[in-house]
Amino acid sequence: PAVAGPLRERFVEARLHVDYERNMKRELEMTGSNSQPLFLVVDPVSEEVVGRHDGPSLISDVPFIEFLDQAWTRVKGSSDAP
């Protein structure tokens, strides 16, 4: 629940389900990794990856929320994103 607000308010979610071999290959090509979960934040204007978070945050939501905040700051600083 703590991450739902920032995700809903600032980001558009897209998923690549890697339960199919072709999607696993695509993820590896796109990111150089097949860790699960893997989160990328992509600038909507430049299409540049401005944030990456590999693996779960099991102990606390804080690291993931900080990742979202930092990526959002990079997007806002580098584009005309709303």
Q: What is the pLDDT of residues 13-63, one digit of tens each?
A: 999 999 989 999 999 998 999 888 999 999 999 999 999 999 888 888 999
- CA 64 distance to own-chain centroid: 10
Which whole number is the average pLDDT over 64-76? 92
Q: Helix/strand/coil (H, E, C) string of 26-48?
A: HHHHHHCCCCCCEEEEECCCCCC
Query: How far apart are the C-alpha atoms of 76 and 78, rounded to whole Å?
Result: 6
Query: How far apart are the C-alpha atoms of 46 and 39, rounded to whole Å?
Result: 18
Q: Which two three-digit tokens encode residue 7?
A: 């995700």
pLDDT at 79: 56
pLDDT at 39: 92
- Name which residue leads in pLDDT, 34 or 79: 34
Question: For the whole model, what pTM was predicted?
Answer: 0.77
